[in-house]
Chain A
Amino acid sequence: MIAIVVLSGFGLALVAPAVQRLLPRHAGWLLALLPLGVTVTLARHAMTIADGGVIAQSHAWAPALGVTLSFYLDGLSLLFALLISGIGTLIVIYSGAYLSGHPNLGRFYAYLLAFMASMLGLVLAGNLIAVFIFWELTSLSSYLLIGFEHEREAARKAALQALLVTGIGGLALMAGLVLMALAGNSWELAEMLDRRLNLAGHPFYLAIVILIFAGAFTKSAQTPFHFWLPSAMEGPTPVSAFLHSATMVKGGVYLVLRLTPILGGTAAWQTTLMLVGAVTMILGAWLSLLQTDLKRLLAYSTVNGLGTLMFLTGIGTRTAIIGAVVFLVAHALYKASLFLNAGVVDHETGTRDVRRLGGLYRHLPLIGSAAVLAGLSMAGLAPFWGFIGKELIYEATWQSVGQTSGLLTTAAVAANALLIAATGVLVIKPFFGPVRTVPDGHHPVGPALWLGPLLPAVLGLLCGLLPGWPAQVFITPAVAAVLAQPQDIHLALWHGFTPMLGLTGLTLLLAFGVYRRHAGIRDGSARFALGACGPAAGYEISLNGMMKLAKWQTRFLQSGYLHNYILTLIIATIALVGYTLLRGAPFQLTLPAMDVKLYEGVLAALMLSAAVVTVRAQSRLSAIVAMGVVGYGLALLFIDFGAPDLAMTQFIIETMTVILFVFVIYRLPAYKIISTPRQFARNGVVAVAAGVLMTTLVLVALGVREGSLLSEFFEANSFIKAHGRNIVNVIIVDFRAMDTLGEITVLTLAGAGVYTLLKLRPKEDR
């Protein structure tokens, strides 16, 4: 069941362009049926999971390597999967309207569906290898999505940046997962979770944590890797919404939550998460306040959200984890809505600059209402789901043990105040106040466009009003999965007059103050030009450095002169073989007995002098004749030493080679002395070294020879099993027929190559 849920997305991605071509107007609605179906299928299992059940399925993949394609559905993965497929449904519908008429819309659907499938695979995978593969697939498909408008350089750069940052993180993650599998002695996530395994005491522990964090922090845009996420805004709006609301950037959060039972509980895990999360949370909120572009503002507020999630996971108490899961859902709902909203605004007015937007509510009432609902949830006001999330965050920081409590609470209040001010900029500026840019009215806002922003926003309100049911069905099982024990969670809007309520009031006051002055703050901080020394600049510098290194290396290694390449190859071979020969076990250079017959000696001398002639000869013809002498000499040696088949072949081939040369030779340029005497001397030294090395090698090889089992087998079975008396031929056509098939294929290719070069030429070239 789960395999189909995951893989059907890839399947549909393949045919999506065809669907788009056949039904250009309704493809979005039609294709959205799949994510909808996935959502329904998953939702049908919600009750099982809520009762504490777990669905694990396994399919053989590479059994020899112990790799299975196994899936694992528990509360945590179900919640993520539902967010992915549910929001995915809306995004696919929305894309159809948002990009309608785009020539590559079909391809866009394909990327989007593939991305969704990769994400589903990531959160449902039960095997560490599968986790890694789906992880990389999400990086790859998001690369394609961000760079969808590849005609623009900015889009290409942003796509590459996202790929490099998350890709490098992915490599670290792979190393971390491999170490984890070694430490836990299993590749199966489900098995590790079932065993209640905790690796905290293992010698690999620190390395595992560092590597997994490298993967999770790059993916989830934690400081200092947060810079790729705002750049990724170069992708079309549905992409941004999908990437940043429910999915890819939450991959890191998912991984951290998933592995908390296995790796958590130590200072290395919890404190790092808390610190990095806190910094990211505050920085994201601060930077989002400074933006004027709606989408960049949203991107930085997503950085804030991701930071908050890491922060809460780091605190790690029961309240904190509940807070994390509730906030996760709240964030997914309002962020999807707001991104799609920004897309509609851009679509209708042609700008996303808050300074040029205002009073749109009158023209776009549905969209405006969605923005208000989502914005209130983002600001954490009652009676929205976001309010419950924020109260839980405060509760978690307030109740946390030790002296850090005050510090954590301060961080949370500061980040929230900044975020609420940014929300004000996001919602109030474009939709209320004086009208600045009027929609051109060319693009009517149909249901495909308003459904995406409105539905999640309304859901955010409904969940806030009726928190009991979602708490029981979705939140409880997810928290139970992270804490690895059964939970009973009740959420409510009203807790009475608690310190948390006071903190909310304080936050709102601060936020109001910041909002009043936000334009001043923005313009003031713009003067400092912090971008020049931020991590984004670091990325640029290292990328440019890499390019320079590559260029230098290419110039150094790739001279374009064939003889340099050959020289490099030969010297490297001599050096490596010679080194192995010298430092290997003390070999014995046994000189074989000298039982040379006279004609053999003459033959050897003839071959050697012919070889010298090929080198010395000034005329092409005499060189060829000398080459022929070497070849025929070899054939005679074959006769002498019991290889009649070889001898015959060698005779005929040598003859053919000479004929071949005679045909071609006069079309090739004549000899020319280009090399300097020094170069000739250098070549001579290399050649002599190669010759001496080979002679030594053969003599050593002869010393260690102990007969071949293979040959013995052939000699014994050639007639009995293969009905042939000529063992050589039997090996060729029977025992090793597969090799021979490959060899005649090569021969065919060589023939086809010659034919192509000589016979199939463009007419004007003849």
Chain B
Amino acid sequence: MTSVILATATRYLMPMLLLFSAFLLFRGHNLPGGGFIGGLVAAATFILHSLVFGVGETRKILRVRPVKLMGLGLLIAMASGLVGVFTRAPFLTGKWYELVLGQGDKWHVGTPVFFDVGVYLVVIGATLIIILSLAEED
């Protein structure tokens, strides 16, 4: 797996793939995509990197341990559910708010988006734990 072409291609593809995964995550509410798919794309990107450069390198550029990503994701998903509870609605009720970004630009934020981010992180974390740990096995 030490093909120069692949290595170079991966190096340039990485940021784009990660951007694409985030794009999939956030557009998922309106078009095909979402936390599961985005998370899988992101995980696949890192797995590709690990196949080319080795797991050690991948862990270095990851900086965060996948276990933490997984836990963080679960926490975010649950926290997004609590917003509903604080407004006296059942757990995980979707709440939407409008943020005015000056000059009349509005941005719709809702707890389901954060929930999806949680899903995204859990999927990345779990997938990376599975594949990277196996790749490191002798």
Q: Which residues of A are in contact with B by a Cβ distance under 8 Å?
A: 644-645, 648-649, 652-653, 655-656, 659-660, 663-664, 667, 722-726, 728-730, 732-734, 737-738, 740-741, 744-745, 747-748, 750-752, 754-755, 758-759
Q: Which segment of B4-12, B26-34, B56-64, B99-107 sits at the interface? A: B26-34
- CB A499 to nearest CB in B, in angstroms, measures 75
Asked whether B73 lies within 8 Å of A744 as measured between CB atoms, the reply is: yes
Identify the interface centre among A722, A737, A745, A758: most chain B CB within 10 Å of its CB: A737
Contact of B33 among A645, A655, A663 (CB under 8 A): A645
Asked whether A649 lies within 8 Å of B122 as measured between CB atoms, the reply is: no
In the complex, what residues of B have CB within 8 A of residue A759's CB? 133
In the complex, what residues of B have CB within 8 A of residue A747's CB? 122-123, 126
Asked whether B40 lies within 8 Å of A741 as measured between CB atoms, the reply is: no
- Determine whether B92 belongs to the interface, using a CB cutoff of 8 Å to chain A: yes
- Given A723-B110, A733-B35 in contact, is the A656-B77 Cβ separation under 8 Å? no
A766 nearest CB neighbor, chain B only:
B138
**CA–CA, A653 and B123, complex, Å:** 11
In the complex, what residues of B have CB within 8 A of residue A652's CB? 37, 40-41, 44
Asked whether B133 lies within 8 Å of A758 as measured between CB atoms, the reply is: yes
In the complex, what residues of B have CB within 8 A of residue A754's CB? 129-130, 133-134
Asked whether B33 lies within 8 Å of A737 as measured between CB atoms, the reply is: no
Which B residues from 28 to 86 make CB contacts under 8 A with A? Answer: 28-37, 40-41, 43-44, 47, 66-67, 70-71, 73-74, 77-78, 81
**CA–CA, A759 and B130, complex, Å:** 11
- Given A744-B119, A754-B129 in contact, is the A655-B44 Cβ separation under 8 Å? yes
Asked whether B112 lies within 8 Å of A724 as measured between CB atoms, the reply is: yes
Asked whether B34 lies within 8 Å of A729 as measured between CB atoms, the reply is: yes
**CA–CA, A751 and B134, complex, Å:** 12
In the complex, what residues of A have CB within 8 A of residue B70's CB? 748, 751-752
A725 nearest CB neighbor, chain B only:
B30
**CA–CA, A297 and B127, complex, Å:** 70
Contact of A722 among B31, B78, B94, B135 (CB under 8 A): B94
**CA–CA, A649 and B44, complex, Å:** 11
A652-B37, A722-B112 given; name 9 further pairs at CB < 8 Å.
A644-B32, A649-B40, A659-B47, A659-B131, A723-B108, A732-B34, A737-B94, A745-B74, A754-B130
Asked whether B37 lies within 8 Å of A751 as measured between CB atoms, the reply is: no
Asked whether B40 lies within 8 Å of A656 as measured between CB atoms, the reply is: yes
In the complex, what residues of A have CB within 8 A of residue B94's CB? 722, 733-734, 737
- CB A666 to nearest CB in B, in angstroms, measures 11
- CB A328 to nearest CB in B, in angstroms, measures 53
Asked whether B130 lies within 8 Å of A748 as measured between CB atoms, the reply is: no
| Closest 4 pairs between A and B when the two form their complex, measured CB to CB | A751-B126, A644-B32, A725-B30, A652-B40
In the complex, what residues of B have CB within 8 A of residue A649's CB? 36-37, 40
- Determine whether B23 belongs to the interface, using a CB cutoff of 8 Å to chain A: no
A724 nearest CB neighbor, chain B only:
B29
**CA–CA, A498 and B8, complex, Å:** 117
Asked whether A726 lies within 8 Å of B122 as measured between CB atoms, the reply is: no
**CA–CA, A653 and B92, complex, Å:** 27
In the complex, what residues of B have CB within 8 A of residue A655's CB? 44
Contact of B131 among A656, A738, A741 (CB under 8 A): A656
- Given A648-B37, A723-B110, A726-B34 in contact, is the A738-B91 Cβ separation under 8 Å? yes
Asked whether A648 lies within 8 Å of B32 as measured between CB atoms, the reply is: yes
**CA–CA, A733 and B29, complex, Å:** 9
Identify the interface centre among A659, A744, A745: most chain B CB within 10 Å of its CB: A744
- CB A587 to nearest CB in B, in angstroms, measures 36
Asked whether B44 lies within 8 Å of A656 as measured between CB atoms, the reply is: yes
B31 nearest CB neighbor, chain A only:
A726
Identify the interface centre among A644, A755, A759: most chain B CB within 10 Å of its CB: A755
- CB B123 to nearest CB in A, in angstroms, measures 7
- CB A721 to nearest CB in B, in angstroms, measures 8
Asked whether B32 lies within 8 Å of A737 as measured between CB atoms, the reply is: no
In the complex, what residues of A have CB within 8 A of residue B108's CB? 723
**CA–CA, A656 and B135, complex, Å:** 12
**CA–CA, A92 and B112, complex, Å:** 58
**CA–CA, A745 and B73, complex, Å:** 10
**CA–CA, A655 and B74, complex, Å:** 25
In the complex, what residues of B have CB within 8 A of residue A724's CB? 29-30, 112
Identify the interface centre among A648, A660, A667, A730: most chain B CB within 10 Å of its CB: A648
- CB B35 to nearest CB in A, in angstroms, measures 7
Asked whether A660 lies within 8 Å of B29 as measured between CB atoms, the reply is: no
B74 nearest CB neighbor, chain A only:
A748
Asked whether B81 lies within 8 Å of A741 as measured between CB atoms, the reply is: yes
20 contacts between A and B (CB under 8 A): A652-B37, A652-B44, A656-B47, A659-B47, A663-B135, A726-B32, A726-B33, A729-B34, A732-B36, A733-B29, A733-B112, A734-B112, A737-B94, A748-B71, A748-B125, A750-B130, A752-B129, A754-B130, A754-B134, A758-B134
- CB B109 to nearest CB in A, in angstroms, measures 10
- Given A645-B37, A738-B92, A748-B126 in contact, is the A733-B31 Cβ separation under 8 Å? no
In the complex, what residues of A have CB within 8 A of residue B127's CB? 656, 751
- CB A732 to nearest CB in B, in angstroms, measures 7
